[in-house]
Amino acid sequence: MNLYVVAQDPTLADFGKDPWWLVLIKVAFAFVFAVLATLLGVWFERRVVGFMQVRPGPNQVGPFGLLQTLADGLKMAFKEDILPRAADKVVYFFAPTVSVICAVTALSVVPFGPMVSIFGHHTPLQVTDVPVAVLVLLACSSMGIYGIVLGGWASGSTYPLLGGLRSSAQMISYEVAMGLSIVAVFMTAGTMSTSGIVAAQGDATRLTVFGTEIPAPGWYAILLLPSFVIFFISTVAETNRAPFDLPEAESELVAGFMTEYSSLKFALFMLSEYVSMVTMSAVTVTLFLGGWRAPWPITLWEGANSGWWPMLWFFGKVIALVFVFVWLRGTLPRLRYDQFMRFGWKVLLPINLVWILVLSGLRSIEDWDTQGKLIAVGVPAGALLLLTLFWPSRKPQPKPSVQERVNSRPHGSFPLPPMDLQVPPSPRTRRVVAEREPANIVAGSDSREV
């Protein structure tokens, strides 16, 4: 393979000119990347969570336990494949494949690097690109939910059905917020092509804001900070990861939509979850973190964004976001379903709508450069958004004492169990004592306990 450096950003005109064998190489690379990222992602998650919980994690199969995921996959392949009697056989069989195919398809429009030379052919490190590539990403994300919904419905059981219905409601709630975040991106970039969005972010430049020159990064994670925060929260919800893993919710629904699945079908659902996590991390990197462009101060090196080096920066950013996914799972508890839905409809959606209106107003100002406006408004707005999301909603009330809780129960209700290990006398004992000392019992008794 010729490693000739071609320092050029790909455009839409550069696609559709590759020979068939080069297209097959790109497709195979995207598929292998998804599978290997899943295998290493499972191992990575178990090791990171083990480190957070002060335990070793997988360390027996292979060096550092690297082959543990492969061993688990082989174990799943040889497990018994159980088909529920009430299941719809055709839909039950194809539901896991729908989720996997949609997750892998989204990688087809994700740019892994700039123009390079492969066996003498100058080609972009991307399978393909279209003028509406962002809509392709949204379509793949939305279609992946069908696998979960169909799998829950086709199982012919109550818990899988509830998990599938939860997944559909979850997708509707957070797909809107995700779409609005992407609206802010192509409003600023002026294109819905993924390669064009990466090119629009560019390197750091000198901007003039109110007559003062300041260094300004081109990443939309900084220029559009509110959109970045909302988009990443929505991706966590879209991939059914903790704390938004309501479709599974093993403490409520056993295993949710996967309850009746076993063997390779269960492995495919597990594969689709991790492929979706890696894919959405790659999409977030493309839309908000400069794609394959190197971060500062690596950009001080002239060859940082040319040749094959950008693939290293791209994979590094993806691994960093996967770590955030794992970090959230290891630290945050699962939300209640009403809290989850309220957060999507009453918090993220109104904030995103207001931000889109503010962004539209900023772009209408002609005597101030666009990036300067976004930096001056977007960064404080993003900081305010983070403060709003994580600020405690109410002042914690002091817990009432045991005696206060006992005295506050309504008249005629069932008496509370003893909290101070003082077992009250039985009714027969109280009746015998009342016959012997009626005056003392009447004066000291509580009529609510009779």
For 353-399, the pLDDT digits (tens) are: 888 888 887 777 755 555 566 666 666 766 676 666 666 555 566 77
Q: Is residue 140 part of a domain?
A: yes
Q: For position 326, what pLDDT does the model report?
A: 92
> Could you tell me the residue range of the domain that residue 214 belongs to?
12-389
Q: Is residue 275 part of a domain?
A: yes
Q: Is residue 27 part of a domain?
A: yes
210 vs 383, which has greater pLDDT?
383
User: What is the band of 441 on the pLDDT scale with cuts at 50, 70, 90?
Assistant: very low
Mean pLDDT of the chain: 80
Q: For position 245, what pLDDT does the model report?
A: 80
For 41-66, the pLDDT digits (tens) are: 889 999 999 999 889 889 888 888 88
| Beta bridge partner(s), residue 209 | 212
Q: What percent of the chain has pLDDT over 70?
A: 75
Q: For position 316, what pLDDT does the model report?
A: 93
Please state the rounded mean pLDDT for residues 81-87: 84
Q: Is residue 414 part of a domain?
A: no
Q: For position 361, what pLDDT does the model report?
A: 79
Q: Is residue 274 part of a domain?
A: yes
pLDDT at 2 over 50: no
Number of domains in the chain: 1
Q: Is residue 426 part of a domain?
A: no
For 285-329, the pLDDT digits (tens) are: 999 998 898 887 787 787 788 888 899 999 999 999 999 999 998
Q: Is residue 210 part of a domain?
A: yes
- Token output for 14: 């550069």
Least reliable range by pLDDT among 14-28, 69-83, 195-209: 195-209
Q: For position 325, what pLDDT does the model report?
A: 93
Q: Is residue 398 part of a domain?
A: no
Least reliable range by pLDDT among 90-94, 140-144, 173-177, 243-247: 243-247
